[in-house]
Amino acid sequence: MKDLKLNIRVEKAQNSRLSAVDFDNLAFGKTMSDHMFVADYRDGEWQDLRIVPYDSFHLAPATSSLHYGQSIFEGLKGFRNAQNPEEVLVFRPQENAKRMNVSAERICMPTIPEEIFMEGLHRLLEIDRDWVPSTPDSSLYIRPFMFATDEFLGMKPSDTYTFAIITAPAGKYYSKALRVKVEKEFSRTSPGGTGFAKVAGNYAASLLPAKLAAQQGYDQLLWTDAKEHKYIEESGTMNVMFDIDGTFVTAPTIPVEDTILRSVTRLTVIELIQDMGHKVEERHISVDEVIEAIKNGKLKGAFGIGTAVTIAPFAVISNDGEDFDLPSDYTFSNELKAKFQSIQKGEIEDTKGWTYKI
Ligand SMILES: *Cc1c(COP(=O)(O)O)cnc(C)c1O
C-alpha cells in the first residue's frame, strides 16, 4: 500500500518479548507478537484506530458477544520474502478483508472498510516485522476479529464493536497425513445458517463431534450436508479436494451452497491445479461416490485445504465404522503444497498479484 493515510495512533511496547521466543519450536497460536491493531465502532463509525501493546481487553460481564456470539474472525499468513528478507509477504489479504464483511453482514455487524483492515494490518506488520519467522514451515499467523461490545443483556444487534488484529508466529499445523471420519450424526451448520461465514458459534458447534471423533482415533471430521448426510462439505476448518483419476473435485461454495466456507486457499489451489494442466470440478460430491472411487482404485488422493494447514493430505477416510486407506504413494498434494508455499515465500515469481508486500 503506497498511500497510507489513516490516522492511527501508535503506542509501542516498553519491552519486546521477542527474545524469549524459540523460533525453532513454534506451536500454533500460542505466542502472540508484541503489538495489536484495534479500532472501536461507536456512534455509527469506526474510531480510535490504534496500535498498542498486546494486552487483555477490559470487558464488562454483560458484554453482549459473550452471551449471544456476535463475533467473527479471519485467518491469514505472512512470510519473509525469500528474495529480500527485510520484506514481509502477506498472502491475499484483500480476500480476507472482503470475506470478513460477508461474515459481518450475516450476523448484523457493521462492515469494516477495506482501507482500515489493510492499513491497520500494514502498519502493525511494519512494527512487528521481526516477529515474522524465517525458519522452514513457519509463518506469521494473522488473526483479525470483531466482536460486539454493548453492555446489554437484551437480544438485539449491538450498537458498539471492537475490531482487532493480533498476530502469532507459528510452526507446522499437522505433521502427518490425516485420518478423517465422515460425520453423519452432527452438523456444523445447515442451509440458511451461518456456514459460509467465519462466525464464532460455528466452531463451538463443531467441538463436541470433533472431540468424539478424536476419542475414536480420528484427526478430523468430514462434514456432510445437514439434510441427508449424503454429500461431503468440508473437513474440520478446511475445504476438501478429491483427486478422482486426475480430475480434482471440490464442493461448491456460495452462491451455490451457503453451508461451506469459501476458502481463500481453495481459490488459490483451484487456479494452481488448472495451471498445472489438470481439470477441476466444483460440484456436489457424495460420500458414496468417494467410497466407490476408493474401492475401484479411482481415488488417487484427497486433501484438506486451508490457511493454517495449506494442504493436508488424508491417509484414511472412515465411513459408517469402516476405515478406508487412501493410496500411500500419492505425491501430488506435497508437490502442490511446495508450489503454493514457494509463491507465498517469494521463492518463485508471483505472476498473479497474490502477495502483498510490506
Ligand atoms: C477458515 C476456514 C476454511 C479455510 O479458509 P481459508 O481462507 O483457506 O483459510 C475452511 N473451512 C472453514 C469452516 C473455515 O473456517
Model pLDDT for residues 156-179, shown as the tens digit of each residue? 999 999 999 999 999 877 679 999
What's the chain's length in residues? 358
Those residues whose C-beta lies under 8 Å from the C-beta of residue 26, and which sit 6 or more positions away, are: 133, 135, 138, 169, 170, 171
The arithmetic mean of pLDDT across residues 203-231, rounded, is 97
Q: pLDDT confidence of 55, banded at 50, 70, 90?
A: very high
> What is the 43 CA–ligand 1 centroid distance (Å)?
32
* Whole-number Å distance between alpha carbons of 110 and 101: 8
Same domain, yes or no: 296 and 194: yes
Share of the chain above pLDDT 70, in %: 99
Does residue 102 carry a pLDDT above 70?
Answer: yes
Which of 139, 263, 309 maximizes ligand 1 atoms within 8 Å of its Cβ, making it the mutation to test the pocket?
263
In a domain, 117, yes or no: yes
The arithmetic mean of pLDDT across residues 284-292, rounded, is 98
Mean pLDDT rounded to a whole number for the chain: 96
CATH number at 141 reads 3.30.470.10
Same domain, yes or no: 53 and 166: yes
User: Quick one: pLDDT at residue 135?
Assistant: 85
List pLDDT tens digits, range 289-334. 999 999 999 999 999 999 999 999 999 999 999 999 999 999 999 9
The arithmetic mean of pLDDT across residues 16-43, rounded, is 94
- Residues 231, 225 contacting (CB under 8 angstroms): yes
Could you tell me the three cell numbers for 115? Answer: 482501507
In a domain, 341, yes or no: no
Could you tell me the three cell numbers for 354? Answer: 497474490
In a domain, 3, yes or no: no
* Ligand 1 contact, 234 CB (< 6 A): yes
173 burial via Cβ count (<10 Å: 0-12, 13-18, 19+): middle
In a domain, 346, yes or no: no
Does residue 251 carry a pLDDT above 70?
Answer: yes
Same domain, yes or no: 33 and 165: yes
Same domain, yes or no: 309 and 266: yes
User: Quick one: pLDDT at residue 27?
Assistant: 86
User: Quick one: pLDDT at residue 99?
Assistant: 98
Which of 91, 307, 311, 341 maximizes ligand 1 atoms within 8 Å of its Cβ, making it the mutation to test the pocket?
307
Burial 112-144 (b: 16+ CB within 10 A, else e): beeebbbbbbbbbbebbbebbbeeeebbbbbbb
Share of the chain above pLDDT 90, in %: 93
In a domain, 123, yes or no: yes
> What is the 120 CA–ligand 1 centroid distance (Å)?
22
Same domain, yes or no: 168 and 199: no
Same domain, yes or no: 164 and 223: no
Q: State phi, psi for 129 to the nearest 5 degrees.
A: -50, -40
The arithmetic mean of pLDDT across residues 205-221, rounded, is 97
> What amino acid occupies position 314?
F
Tell me which residue range forms the domain holding 115: 9-172+351-357
User: Quick one: pLDDT at residue 357?
Assistant: 97
Those residues whose C-beta lies under 8 Å from the C-beta of residue 129, and which sit 6 or more positions away, are: 86, 88, 358
User: Quick one: pLDDT at residue 1?
Assistant: 53
In a domain, 27, yes or no: yes
Same domain, yes or no: 316 and 187: yes
User: Where in 236-298 does DSSP place strands (E)?
Assistant: 239-244, 247-250, 279-282
Angle, vertex CA 124, rays to CA 24 and CA 2, nearest 5: 120
Same domain, yes or no: 160 and 209: no
* Whole-number Å distance between alpha carbons of 316 and 322: 10
> What amino acid occupies position 79?
F
* Whole-number Å distance between alpha carbons of 76 and 154: 34
> What is the 222 CA–ligand 1 centroid distance (Å)?
14
User: Quick one: pLDDT at residue 136?
Assistant: 81
Same domain, yes or no: 199 and 318: yes
* Ligand 1 contact, 304 CB (< 6 A): no
* Whole-number Å distance between alpha carbons of 215 and 84: 45
* Whole-number Å distance between alpha carbons of 36 and 167: 7
Same domain, yes or no: 160 and 239: no
Same domain, yes or no: 218 and 287: yes
DSSP assignment of 58-103: ---TTBHHHHH--EEE--EEEEEETTEEEEEEEESHHHHHHHHHHH
User: Quick one: pLDDT at residue 34?
Assistant: 98
Does residue 2 carry a pLDDT above 60?
Answer: no
CATH number at 281 reads 3.20.10.10
Name the nearest CA neighbour of 108 among 47, 51, 64: 64
Q: pLDDT confidence of 44, banded at 50, 70, 90?
A: very high
- Residues 148, 40 contacting (CB under 8 angstroms): no
Coil, strand or helix at 344 = helix
Which of 96, 194, 239 maximizes ligand 1 atoms within 8 Å of its Cβ, making it the mutation to test the pocket?
239
User: Quick one: pLDDT at residue 155?
Assistant: 95
In a domain, 340, yes or no: no
Same domain, yes or no: 190 and 258: yes
263 burial via Cβ count (<10 Å: 0-12, 13-18, 19+): buried
Give the position, in ligand 1's atom list, of the atom nearest the Cα of 76: 9
Structural domains of the chain, count: 2
* Ligand 1 contact, 195 CB (< 6 A): no
Does residue 69 carry a pLDDT above 80?
Answer: yes
In a domain, 229, yes or no: yes
Residue nearest to atom 13 of ligand 1 (CA): 237
User: Quick one: pLDDT at residue 210?
Assistant: 97
Could you tell me the three cell numbers for 261? Answer: 466456507
Least confident piece of the model among 21-25, 113-117, 148-152: 21-25
User: Quick one: pLDDT at residue 171?
Assistant: 86
